[in-house]
């Protein structure tokens, strides 16, 4: 059994208007993301990761706030606190409203999230 607490994450990554905290559960990284109002992937992450859209697969549980997600094909969906979301690569996302978004991503594909490519 493995258990860790986000009060003492194994790793923290920060970019403008966002913070991600990671815990490593025997090789699987679980991520807590905190995104401030005004955060948008294409403005705050794209310059770091240098891809046209987010190329990470996410398996998310939304704890707080609202986020709009737009897939590369143009389809959009707003997700909010209480939603469980599977989000394939090829998307943009941004915070909606004045409340921070707090989410937990269980996908395990977080090894390179918010890091230069």
CATH assignment at residue 88: 2.60.120.10
Is residue 60 situated within a structural domain? Answer: yes
Q: How many domains does the chain have?
A: 1
Is residue 44 situated within a structural domain? Answer: yes
Is residue 89 situated within a structural domain? Answer: yes
pLDDT value of position 111: 64
Is residue 2 situated within a structural domain? Answer: no
Is residue 116 situated within a structural domain? Answer: no
Mean pLDDT per block of 10 residues along the chain (117 residues) reads 94 93 92 97 91 93 98 98 96 98 86 68
Which structural domain range is residue 29 located in?
12-105
pLDDT value of position 116: 67
Is residue 1 situated within a structural domain? Answer: no
Is residue 17 situated within a structural domain? Answer: yes
pLDDT value of position 117: 60
Query: What is the DSSP annotation of 3-68?
Result: ---TTS-SEEEEETTEEEEEEEETTEEEEEEEE-TT-BHHHHTHHHH-SSSB---EEEEEEESEEE
């Amino acid at each position: 059994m493995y258990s860790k607490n986000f009060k003492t994450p194994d790793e923290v990554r920060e970019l403008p208007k966002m913070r991600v905290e990671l815990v490593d559960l025997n090789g699987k990284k679980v991520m807590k993301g905190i995104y401030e109002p005004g955060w948008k992937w294409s403005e705050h992450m794209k310059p770091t990761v240098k891809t046209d859209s987010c190329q990470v697969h996410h398996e998310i549980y939304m704890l707080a706030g609202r986020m709009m997600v737009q897939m590369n094909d143009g389809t959009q969906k707003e997700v909010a606190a209480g939603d469980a979301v599977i989000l394939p690569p090829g998307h943009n996302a941004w915070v909606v409203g004045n409340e921070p978004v707090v989410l937990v991503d269980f996908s395990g594909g977080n090894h390179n999230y918010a890091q230069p490519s």
